[in-house]
Amino acid sequence: MPKISVVIAVYNGEQFIEETIKSVLNQTIHNLEIIVVNNDSTDKTVKIVKSFKDKRISLYHFSGGIGKTGAANYGMGKAKGEFLQFFDADDVMCNFKLEYESKILERNKKACLQQRNNH
C-alpha cells in the first residue's frame, strides 16, 4: 500500500502536466501513487501521461467532462494511500514536500494540512 496518494485532475494540461508529474516522481519519499484523472482533454495530455513508464501512475478518463471537483472526487475514491494529496495539473512541488507533510501528520494524528488560497 502506498503511503501517499497524489490525485491530479487535468483538463487540457499538455503545457504543464509533464513537469507536474516529474515533480511528484522526484519526491524524497518514493512510496506513493499518482492518480491522474483526465477530464475529457482534447490536447496531448493523455499521450504525455502515458509516456511515463512508472507503475505508480494510474490514468483514468472521463468523456463529457465531470469538472475538477468530480475528477478529484473520483481520484479520491481510487486512492489507496494512508495520506491523500490533491494537486493541480499546472503546479510543481518541491522535492521534500510529501515527506515533510507526512511526518507532520504522523506526529499529529488530529492535524490536517490544507493549502491556503490567497486570491
Grade residue 88 by pLDDT with cuts at 50, 70 and 90: very high
- pTM across the whole model: 0.89
pLDDT at site 43: 97
Q: Over 80: is that where the pLDDT of 100 sits?
A: yes
Specify the CATH architecture of the domain 4-107. Alpha-Beta Complex (3.90)
* Domain range summary for the chain, segments of one domain joined by +: 4-107
Q: Alpha carbon of 24 to those of 4, 40, 47, 62, 81: distances in Å?
A: 11, 22, 18, 23, 15
